[in-house]
Amino acid sequence: MSGPRLPYQPGHYPTTRLRRNRRDDWSRRLMAENKLGVDDLIWPIFVHEEKEQRIPVASMPGVDRLSIDILAEAAREAVSFGIPAVAIFPVINSQRKNEEGTEAINPKNLVCRAIREIAEQNLNLGIVCDVALDPFTSHGHDGLVRDGYVVNDETVEVLIQQALIQAAAGCTIIAPSDMMDGRVGAIRKALDQAGHERVRILSYAAKYASAFYDPFREAIGSTTNLEQGDKRTYQMDVANSDEALREVALDINEGADMVMVKPGLPYLDIIFRIKETFGLPTYAYQVSGEYAMIACASNQGWLNGKRAILESLKSFKRAGADGILTYFAPQVARWLREEAEEL
């Protein structure tokens, strides 16, 4: 995004013809205000603990849940493409889920094993991990439920423990995605006290109570559990935009290094406002529902998948995002490499 502008001078037709700059491929490239590169991508990966190496996610055609033994391969693949970071999401066996989500703070849980598997290889690769209880709770909520309400402060105490074991396992970017109040500050303090002052915090600062997460919930098996209610008492109201700025302001004060807006494409205005107002590293999450829409329409032949994907990602950049979490990351990295080779 650019700095201060001169007074707007539109010019006049026919001396001014904007189509001149659009005439040739080389010229369009030269004029392009924003570029999408592999450095802009974070690849979210689902890991599971079943015997099969890959289990497809039905609601996300083209996305598989990976076993830990092939996760390492996926991580190396990410590095070979030049993707800077991966984000790990665990599919927890339903027998291990309970009301309190205690598996979330088991240092030998699936997430921690997955982190170690990647960290041990000493790759030049960031490891992002969610902090939230939903993959671990039988009810599918991100926090502890007391009298039908997801309680804040008691949940934060558990999130601190979750962040600590993930950092100890080698996670380099802790990403609280639970939308509890005050959790960023509490986690920052606990990380620092434990000697993890170099571990970064990417706050899901503006996370909306969205309909676009359903395929993700199917992927991690928390959908049916959520029937008792949705997440509107903690995730943001879709109607709000000023409130997103308040969320980000608080998280910055609490020590967030980066912030995220989620979902992505329906919230480009939020990305724009946050980047304009605070100027800190700002990321977009092109969530599972957005993935499913593009992947399904493209599989049907109803739209050109490659063009639609690249257009959506470029739009995030135009809105001001510094990077995008997208399930299309490896595919996009492949295309970007091909394009570079063609030129």
What is the binding site for ligand PBG (CB under 6 A)?
Answer: 130, 132, 134, 142, 177-178, 213, 216-217, 231, 287-288
Instruction: Tell me the closest approach of the beta carbon of residue 198 to ligand PBG, in angstroms.
Output: 24
Residue 273: count other Cβ atoms within 10 Å of its Cβ: 21
Residue 38 or 287 having the CB closest to ligand PBG: 287
Instruction: Judge whether 212 and 290 are in contact, CB under 8 Å.
Output: yes
Residue 81 or 216 having the CB closest to ligand PBG: 216
The H or E element that residue 156 is part of is helix 153-169
Catalytic one of 97, 231, 262, 317: 262
Hey, what are 328's tokens?
């299309």
Instruction: Tell me the closest approach of the beta carbon of residue 51 to ligand PBG, in angstroms.
Output: 25
The H or E element that residue 176 is part of is strand 173-176
Q: Which residues contact 69 (CB under 8 A, 6 or more apart)?
A: 53
DSSP 56-92: E-TTSTT-EEEEHHHHHHHHHHHHHHT--EEEEEEE-
Residue 40 or 134 having the CB closest to ligand PBG: 134
Residue 142 or 251 having the CB closest to ligand PBG: 142
Hey, what are 200's tokens?
């970064």
- Nearest residue to ligand PBG, by Cβ distance, number only: 216
| Residue 51 a catalytic site member | no
Q: How far is 299 from 174, CA to CA, in rounded Å? A: 34
Catalytic one of 97, 108, 189, 207: 207
Pairing of strands 149-150, 145-146: antiparallel
Instruction: Tell me the closest approach of the beta carbon of residue 75 to ligand PBG, in angstroms.
Output: 19
Judged by phi (left if over 0) then psi (alpha if -120 to 50, else beta), residue 36 lies in: beta
Instruction: Tell me the closest approach of the beta carbon of residue 325 to ligand PBG, in angstroms.
Output: 8
Instruction: Tell me the closest approach of the beta carbon of residue 129 to ligand PBG, in angstroms.
Output: 10
Residue 3 or 148 having the CB closest to ligand PBG: 148
Catalytic residues: 207, 262
